[in-house]
Amino acid sequence: MPATDALRQPSRTLVITATAVPLALAVLADDVRVRRQLHAARRDPLSGLPGREALLAYGDRLLRTGRRDQVHLMLLDGNGFKAVNDTHGHAAGDAVIATTGRRLAAWTKRRQAVAARLGGDEFAVAAVLPARTALADITALREQLHQPLTHDGRTLHMTVSLGIARAADLPGEDTGRLLRAADAAMYRVKAGEAFPCLATYADAYADTVNGRRAGRTGAHLPAA
């Protein structure tokens, strides 16, 4: 290599690096802006989280980025929530929903992620998680949600069933399809399958009744 070319090479590397840093910062700033818009939009007053439409919009946005293969959709459903309501009253059930919302918000705040309340004691999370840490991150979230809480002098114990759909396992599918897959995986956990339960293509195309997975509570009800 001529001496002049050798001298130019380091400066070219510096230019590339200097260009990459602002680009990465711009992507991060854009994600923060979008999440602020979601939180400023209509939120569930009990959990403090946005709803299904916000989750789907944010998830589809993540799927259009260069980090698509790191996108995870998680669907979480409480275990024993009805028993809490029946035994301790609806105020206790509300406390469980509010605490779950705060814990999910705290977990997503430190990540490129958004959590939403889908209804009742059902929540979902769309997140970008590197493959090397994804399982540890999701396990940590599950453990946080399993921590007891205190309401009106009583200790309430709650656990969640959690299904996981990875975009890398479902190439070309949108957030709605990933959510359906995570829902089916979550119900396999409720039926006794061990955590972590990863969704498959069959889960993504599971039959639904009135927009619900066949067998899900309310699937037998007439469509509104």
Report the catalytic residues: 121
Instruction: Give the CA distances from residue 83 to residues 79, 80, 91, 158, 176, in Å, rounded to whole numbers and listed in that order.
Output: 9, 5, 13, 10, 30
- Residue 13's CB is within 10 A of a number of other CB atoms, namely 10
Q: Rounded distance, CA 47 to CA 32, Å? A: 20
DSSP code per residue over 182-213: HHHHHHHHHTTPPSPEE--HHHHT--EETTEE
What is the tally of helices (H) and strands (E) in the chain?
Answer: 7, 9
Sign of CA dihedral 64, 40, 123, 221: negative
Question: 76 and 162 in contact (C-beta within 8 Å)?
Answer: yes
Cβ(50)–Cβ(44) below 8 Å? yes
